[in-house]
Structure 1
Amino acid sequence: MGFPGVWMTESESVVYRVVPKCACSTIGQIMYYSDHGEFFDGDIHDAKDGMHKWARDDSQGPITRNVLAHRSYAFTCVRNPYTRILSSFFDKICGIQRNGRRYRGNLVPTLIYKYGIEVGGDDGKQEFDQIQSFRRFLLFARDTIRWRRPMDPDIHWSAVSGHVSTFIANGGRYDEIVWTESFNEGMQRVLNSIETPHAVDLKKIPRFNESEGHGPKRAHPVEDYFDDLSMHLVYEIFKRDFQLFKYDFENPGNKMPIAEIDLDEVHAKLG
């Protein structure tokens, strides 16, 4: 199985397990900059060289050797399940993607037809009942994760713990898990622990939010999207994320963690 979703700097200063919708564009650009002294021109996900990625055949050997010997500092980044799945809905379901088309071709028409979801018209910019449509999307997300119907779960809304676990299950060990919600503090701890060819000043790093502007703006506070039933569905899908990464299930309006992550617990439960 190896290490899907793992990126590593060419200098092997640091190893990162990508988790979709968890600051991955910004982290990738920080890693690229730390090696080359400049940012990648474009979306870092499109970079074919300048960084080791598991998806590149020639990177798999170096990544495997490094991770199994734990030669470099390894980290990942996680996010509150409530805000992450909301962000996935607005970006992937309601938004027009970089290629000018809907995400995954016939996915959105299927959702409109089978679940009665609205997405703000052809351009995602028209008014629609965001709360009602999001709650229907949640049913769809649950169906994909629990029954793999009407399709397999998508990486943008499958549980963070599932992404994080493959690294552990195949022999890796994390030195740090960063919360998206306190990104600068967590990322600074990573940078303080590694030596990079180029120094990184986090205060001067722009935020590379590649999904921003794809879809409609969220019209309500986070908690308005989650009634009792939606909270139940979110817990059914993301129970381990709440427990391991210490997020507040009881209050969707509180995006901040409520305790420290126990790395030993994460490795024990996800290994």
Structure 2
Amino acid sequence: MGFPGTWMTETESVVYRVVPKSACSTIGQIMYYSDHGEFFDGDIHDAQGGIHKWAMEDSQPLITANVKNHTSYSFTCVRNPYTRILSSFFDKICSIQRNGKRYRGNLVPLLIQKYGIEVGSPEEGFEFDQIKSFRRFLLFARDTIKYRRPMDPDIHWSAMSGHISTFIINGGRYDKIVWTEQFNDGMQQVLDGIKTPNPIELSGIPRFNESEGHGPTRAHPVEDYFDELSMHMMYEIYKKDFNLFKYDFENPGNKMPVGEIDLDEVHAKLGE
């Protein structure tokens, strides 16, 4: 299986396990900048050079050797499950993608047909009942994760613990798990633990949000999208994410972590 979703700087200063919808564009650009003194021109997910990625065959033996020997500082980044699934809905389901089309071709028509979701359109200013549609999307996400139907779960809404565990199961160990909500503090700890050819001043780094501006804006506070049934489904799907990464399940309106992440506990529970 190897180390899917793992990126590494060309200088092997640092190794990062990508978690979709958790600041991965910004982190990838920071890694690229740390080696090259400039940002990648475009979406870092499209970069085919200048950074090692597991998806690129030539990078695989280098990443494998580094991770198995824990040669470099290794980290990942997590996000509150409530805001992460909302972001997935608005970015992947409601928005027009960078290629000018809907995400995954027939996915949105399938959701409209089978789950009665509305997504609006650019011509109508993306007007639709966001709360009703989101809750129907959440039912679909639950079906994909729990029952793998009507399709396998997508990486953007599958549990963070699943992404993070592949790294551990195959012999990797994390030195740090950064919270998106305290990004500069966590990322500074990562940078303090490594040596980079080009210095990084985090306060001057832009946020690379490649999905912004191509769809509807969230019209309500986070907590308005989650009623009691939605919260029950969230716990059913993301119980490990809430517990291991110390997020507040009881209050969807509180995006901040409520405790410290115990790295030993993460490695023990996700390495089984």
Tell me the TM-score normalised to structure 2 length: 0.99
Please tell me whether the aligned partners of residues 122 and 215 of structure 2 are also in contact (alpha carbons under 8 angstroms).
Answer: no
Measured in 2, the distance between the counterparts of 1:214 and 1:168 equals 35
1:52-67 counterparts in 2 under 5 A? 52-67=52-67
**Match of 2:212?**
212
1:93-113, CA deviations, whole angstroms, 9 ceiling, x for partnerless residues?
Answer: 000000000000000000001
**Match of 2:96?**
96
**Match of 1:69?**
69
**Match of 1:182?**
182
1:162-181 counterparts in 2 under 5 A? 162-181=162-181
Please tell me whether the aligned partners of residues 95 and 124 of structure 1 are also in contact (alpha carbons under 8 angstroms).
Answer: no
Measured in 2, the distance between the counterparts of 1:270 and 1:52 equals 25
**Match of 1:241?**
241
Deviation at 1:124, TM superposition (A): 7.5
**Match of 2:108?**
108
Deviation at 1:237, TM superposition (A): 0.5
> How has the CA–CA distance of structure 1 residues 172 and 112 changed in structure 2, closer, same or farther, with 3 Å as cutoff?
same
> How has the CA–CA distance of structure 1 residues 235 and 123 changed in structure 2, closer, same or farther, with 3 Å as cutoff?
farther
1:85-164 counterparts in 2 under 5 A? 85-121=85-121, 125-164=125-164
Counterpart of 1:147, as a letter, is Y
Counterpart of 2:158, as a letter, is S
Counterpart of 1:103, as a letter, is Y
Measured in 1, the distance between the counterparts of 2:257 and 2:56 equals 34
Please tell me whether the aligned partners of residues 29 and 39 of structure 2 are also in contact (alpha carbons under 8 angstroms).
Answer: yes
Please tell me whether the aligned partners of residues 126 and 215 of structure 2 are also in contact (alpha carbons under 8 angstroms).
Answer: no
Q: Which stretches in structure 1 are left out of the alignment for 5+ residues?
A: none
> How has the CA–CA distance of structure 1 residues 39 and 65 changed in structure 2, closer, same or farther, with 3 Å as cutoff?
same
Deviation at 1:123, TM superposition (A): 5.4
1:76-95, CA deviations, whole angstroms, 9 ceiling, x for partnerless residues?
Answer: 00000000000000000000
1:193-208 counterparts in 2 under 5 A? 193-208=193-208
Identity %: 80
Where does structure 1 differ by over 2 angstroms across 4 or more consecutive aligned residues? 121-126
Deviation at 1:214, TM superposition (A): 2.3
Measured in 2, the distance between the counterparts of 1:124 and 1:4 equals 39
**Match of 2:38?**
38
Q: Which stretches in structure 2 are left out of the alignment for 5+ residues?
A: none
Counterpart of 2:44, as a letter, is I
**Match of 1:221?**
221
SS, match of residue 155 in structure 1: coil
**Match of 2:263?**
263
Measured in 1, the distance between the counterparts of 2:270 and 2:214 equals 33
Please tell me whether the aligned partners of residues 43 and 210 of structure 1 are also in contact (alpha carbons under 8 angstroms).
Answer: yes
CA RMSD of aligned residues (A): 0.8
SS, match of residue 38 in structure 1: coil
Measured in 1, the distance between the counterparts of 2:214 and 2:239 equals 29
**Match of 1:28?**
28
1:159-201, CA deviations, whole angstroms, 9 ceiling, x for partnerless residues?
Answer: 0000000000000000000000000000000000000000000
Please tell me whether the aligned partners of residues 90 and 215 of structure 1 are also in contact (alpha carbons under 8 angstroms).
Answer: yes
Please tell me whether the aligned partners of residues 245 and 257 of structure 1 are also in contact (alpha carbons under 8 angstroms).
Answer: yes
Please tell me whether the aligned partners of residues 96 and 123 of structure 1 are also in contact (alpha carbons under 8 angstroms).
Answer: no
Counterpart of 1:30, as a letter, is I
Tell me the TM-score normalised to structure 1 length: 0.99
**Match of 1:3?**
3
